[in-house]
Structure 1
Amino acid sequence: MPDARPFWETKTLEELTPAEWEALCDGCGRCCLHKLRDPDDGALAYTAVACRLLDLERCRCTDYPRRHVRVPDCVRLTPAEVRAADWLPPTCAYRLRAAGEPLAWWHPLVSGDPESVHRAGISVRGRAVAEREAGALERHVASWPRRWPKGAKGATPPADQGRTRP
């Protein structure tokens, strides 16, 4: 009898097809925020400044196929990179699945609704600053990208969020 569980619960990151890999992205845009690394101690700080290619409303790359050409330091996530990266937000589906954790209720694969990531306060929508308008990154250091919003962690949504699909 075949396993009825969804692909993200039955496959390792290495086993995902390219389409499954892309579907695992929740569309939050947090990984597209600029980060600062202290050269002395290696400490990482997130900023609220988004990559110039990030659409701040949709929280998606405006030139995904050519992003590495247009932004040479854009990181190409691989299973190995996911496991080694300390800069992925704690809400990141790749990071969660690499650690054997379930996807949260707001993930579009779970909810069936791509807007649930925004309603749950996970995405950068309404919080990120456009790179072209930001000026010095140091002025935009933010702690929220490194945290889970209240009520966003777990398998079931808070009563005021609701699910769009059972």
Structure 2
Amino acid sequence: MSEKFTNSSAPFWETKTLQQMTQGEWESICDGCGLCCLTKLQDDDTEEIVYTCVVCAYSDITTGQCRDYAHRSVNVPSCVQLTQEGIEQFDWLPDTCSYRVLHRGQSLPNWHPLISGDARSVGKAGVGLTAIAVVIDNGKLDYEDYLIPKP
């Protein structure tokens, strides 16, 4: 992504690259949809990633948020922490993911909380965990029984 020019009247997400953002700015880019928390499977031969409708027990299916975000990587060791340095590897995230949207040079959608001013706008737009029927992982599921199209 090319370097952006600073315009003091424009919001930070329009003037900074993802790598230039402070930690607080980076965190606020997350729209809170929770789709990154869906369990994904990767084919060993093709490396294709497929989604399931399974989420971990820390996912709040009424809000799409993690109920213990600060300790998510400890609670669920396979939880991938999204970082500014790893943006190139986020192609497994949904196309609506705000990090991917900005990385592609596109504008945040109108339903993004930074645009709408309403944290519930994601759910109202029918985006995220609250828009699909999810299953809480109980440790005994065969994930292949829960495959869904990429959200």
Picking from 130, 138, 151, the partner of 1:125 is 130
Structure 1 spans left out of the alignment, 5+ residues: 146-166
Q: Kindly provide the CA deviation profile for residues 73-104 of structure 1, in whole angstroms up to 9, marking residues without a partner as x.
A: 11111123222222111000001111111100
SS at match of 1:67: helix
Partner residue, 1:102: 107
Superposed CA RMSD in Å reads 1.7
Q: Using the alignment, how far apart are the partners of 1:33 and 1:70 within structure 2?
A: 15
Q: Using the alignment, how far apart are the partners of 1:119 and 1:142 within structure 2?
A: 21
Structure 2 spans left out of the alignment, 5+ residues: 1-5
Structure 1 residues 15 and 135, CA gap change in structure 2 (3 angstroms): same
Residue 85, structure 1, aligned to residue 90, structure 2: yes
* Matched residues, number: 145
Write the letter of the residue equivalent to 2:23. P
Partner residue, 2:19: 14
Structure 1 residues 87 and 134, CA gap change in structure 2 (3 angstroms): farther
Q: How far is 1:44 from its partner?
A: 1.1
Partner residue, 1:149: none
TM-score using structure 2 length:
0.89
Q: Using the alignment, how far apart are the partners of 1:33 and 1:116 within structure 2?
A: 20
Residue 137, structure 1, aligned to residue 150, structure 2: no
Partner residue, 1:43: 48
Q: Using the alignment, how far apart are the partners of 1:134 and 1:122 within structure 2?
A: 28
Query: Is the contact between residue 57 and residue 126 of structure 1 (CA under 8 Å) also seen in structure 2?
Result: no
Partner residue, 2:37: 32
Structure 1 residues 39 and 133, CA gap change in structure 2 (3 angstroms): closer
Q: How far is 1:54 from its partner?
A: 0.8
Q: How far is 1:144 from its partner?
A: 4.8
Q: Using the alignment, how far apart are the partners of 2:131 and 2:139 within structure 1?
A: 15
Residue 55, structure 1, aligned to residue 76, structure 2: no
Structure 1 residues 70 and 9, CA gap change in structure 2 (3 angstroms): same
TM-score using structure 1 length:
0.81
Aligned-pair identity (%)? 44
SS at match of 1:36: strand
Structure 1 residues 103 and 2, CA gap change in structure 2 (3 angstroms): closer
Runs of 4+ in structure 1 over 3 Å off: none
Picking from 4, 11, 14, the partner of 2:9 is 4
